[in-house]
Structure 1
Amino acid sequence: MSGHTATQSAQPAQPSEPTCAPSRAARELGLKRGEFDLAVHLGRIRTVPDETGTGARVAQAELDRLRGQPGFPEALRESVRVVGTTAGAALMEVSSARLTRLARVGLLIPVKFYLNRYRAVVWLYLAEELRQFAAGQENSALLRQRMPEGLRRKLDGGADLRPRNWRGRHLGFLLRQATDPWQRAGALAAFLDPVQIAEIVDDPYERSHLHRFRPDPPSHGAPGSPAAQLAERLMTADDPDEIAWLRSDLAQTLSEARDHRPAPRPTPRGTPLPSAAEDRTPCDEPVPEEPERPRGLLGRLLRRGSRPM
């Protein structure tokens, strides 16, 4: 899976290091919450796990680092500005159709998407990346001349790498936020359908444990709604090469996760005692047991009847 991803991993903050919640960090950095979340997604803002390990916070030292960068806050805000096809094409001084073709063959990678009122997918791109692509001399022919024959054949064949490239980018974000092998395995499993996962993880207790770390698709509509179902389809790998790569990485990461911490299993209420056959050693000889003598009235009658007359 392709995509531009940073390699910064989430690391716990030092015990004495002050931190703040994402909402406050966004205000202090002059960002809207959506811009802040995208900056974290791209690795522009580093976060640390909160006390529960399920959320994120921003260290004061990270805020100071960002505020000390040249051009703050405009440069930071511009680095996470996203545009759609029409605005992006104007930025690159090409037609909207040209930008779409470049994105379909994987030369431009979406960073986000949303569903419009007709439930059509609208892809969004980083303005910064579009400018960089347009400024590259090596891309001049792609912008101004006829598309190369190889790319035209791909387009004529229906190629559209936008969903796959977005998944690659989103996977990079999830892996950067993971702090142990189970979380990394959950990030990989998020892009495979349940059938693929069941083929790799045949142990039901491991599947259940893995599911705890499997992130949901980005929120689009109420759970179970058509919009949410479409977002789930976009999240699920559908290219054979992509599926094979994810399956291989998931199998390897699961092996690491098992070594790190086995999946929990139900605790037995008690250990059953071994049977007589299991407890006997090869040298043991069977010992004849005397039958239990009847007690009570029946016993007295039987004993009386057994006396010689």
Structure 2
Amino acid sequence: MSGSTFVPTRTGAGGPTRSSTWTPSRAARELGLKRADFDLAVHLGRVRTVPDEGGGGRRVERAEIERLRAQEGFPETLRQRVQVVGTAEGSALMDVSAGRFTRLARLGLLVPVRFYLNRYRAVVWLYLAEEVRQFAAVEENAHLLEGRTPETLRSQVAAGVDLRARNWRGRHLGFLLREAEGPWARAGAVAAFLPPAEVAAVVTDPGERVELHRFRPTPPHQGSPGSPTAHLAGELMTAQDPDEIGWLRSDLAHAVREARAHATASRPAPRGAEPEARMPAAHLKSAVRTGTRPTSQPEPTAKGPDSGIEGRCPGRGLRRWLRRRSPRPAAV
């Protein structure tokens, strides 16, 4: 870990500047974390990030690094808070068999925080060690850790219940929503967990679907596009159960409505509406009372020489009128 010192840097009026922030890779080195553990710390809210003013993703302020390094027990306390364990390590922490640990996870009592695919393309679920310890320490969970598993839970396992992927999706969606910047990014995060047909059923406008796709996050551990690993990661990212699909559709519809309202509120007024915005109040009230379309200038009260030439160039008509009115020169 680097022992460099921090040099105070001025911050611009609009927020932290690039010179006062670090990239995630640099921040991970300063905190003594592996990059995967740093990303997890950001997801969990252990490390606060700020938007990159240059549009290059998230960055970490130097003040945030200083705050974390000043905590008691750093860096071990921070590492413990993002430590993940698999089935073998988790069962050892709980002092139960690996089979019992897996059953508890399948039933949704332990929620995965991350996964990876091993060389056999099998899904390996990872759990926060901190949460595993907390579960084992709760007195009400003692009957789940020793003795015979309750019949209701055993019957669910026998029926093939496995909530690990679903619970991971719910947790990962929370991560994405917390980091989303703007209503369309939030809508895109929700859409990422639905099959394309379900998204099209909720969002019928093709332009809005393009906007959702632009903000759609990619699954973690995706691998190369089109590979078996990418296909499996996409399956884990996609909702499967009808009730899960139902509440995701409801959330997507709500998020898109908010995005539409935000776009309408922030859309600049068309040029043709600008003169009306500067119109005198008395003239606008008169137009509303008479039912006519308001214009930027009041109608003339008297007809001029060109009033009968509607739709033509006023300057040309005026010149014709003047020529008719001018006395002809006397013949010599």
Does TM-score exceed 0.5, indicating one fold? yes
Structure 1 stretches of 5 or more lacking a match? 1-11, 263-309
**How big is each residue's C-alpha offset from its partner over 1:270-293, in whole Å with a ceiling of 9 and x where there is no partner?**
xxxxxxxxxxxxxxxxxxxxxxxx
What secondary structure is seen at the aligned counterpart in 2 of 1:125?
strand
Q: How does 1:26-175 map to 2 (within 5 A)?
A: 26-175=28-177
**How big is each residue's C-alpha offset from its partner over 1:124-179, in whole Å with a ceiling of 9 and x where there is no partner?**
11111111111111111100122222212211111000000100111011001012
What secondary structure is seen at the aligned counterpart in 2 of 1:159?
coil
Structure 2 stretches of 5 or more lacking a match? 1-13, 265-332
CA distance in 2, matches of 1:114, 1:23: 21
CA distance in 1, matches of 2:157, 2:28: 41
Q: What is aligned with 1:277? A: none
Higher RCO (CA 8 Å, separation ≥ 6 residues):
1
What one-letter code is carried by the residue in structure 2 that aligns with 1:158? Answer: G
What one-letter code is carried by the residue in structure 2 that aligns with 1:86? Answer: A
CA distance in 1, matches of 2:48, 2:138: 29
Q: How does 1:229-240 map to 2 (within 5 A)?
A: 229-240=231-242
Percent of residue pairs identical: 67
Alpha-carbon shift at residue 15 of structure 1 (Å): 5.1
Q: How does 1:2-21 map to 2 (within 5 A)?
A: 13-14=15-16, 18-21=20-23
Alpha-carbon shift at residue 16 of structure 1 (Å): 9.1
What secondary structure is seen at the aligned counterpart in 2 of 1:71?
coil
Relative to structure 1, is the Cα distance of residues 25 and 16 closer, same or farther in structure 2, using a 3 angstrom cutoff?
A: closer
- The answer to whether the Cα contact below 8 Å between 2:17 and 2:53 also exists between their aligned partners in 1 is no
What one-letter code is carried by the residue in structure 2 that aligns with 1:81? Answer: Q
- The answer to whether the Cα contact below 8 Å between 2:116 and 2:221 also exists between their aligned partners in 1 is no
Q: What is aligned with 1:268? A: none
RMSD: 2.0
CA distance in 1, matches of 2:230, 2:32: 31
What one-letter code is carried by the residue in structure 2 that aligns with 1:225? Answer: S
CA distance in 1, matches of 2:44, 2:225: 26
CA distance in 1, matches of 2:107, 2:79: 29
Q: What is aligned with 2:6? A: none
Q: How does 1:241-280 map to 2 (within 5 A)?
A: 241-261=243-263
- The answer to whether the Cα contact below 8 Å between 1:134 and 1:140 also exists between their aligned partners in 2 is yes
CA distance in 1, matches of 2:55, 2:161: 40
Q: What is aligned with 1:191? A: 193
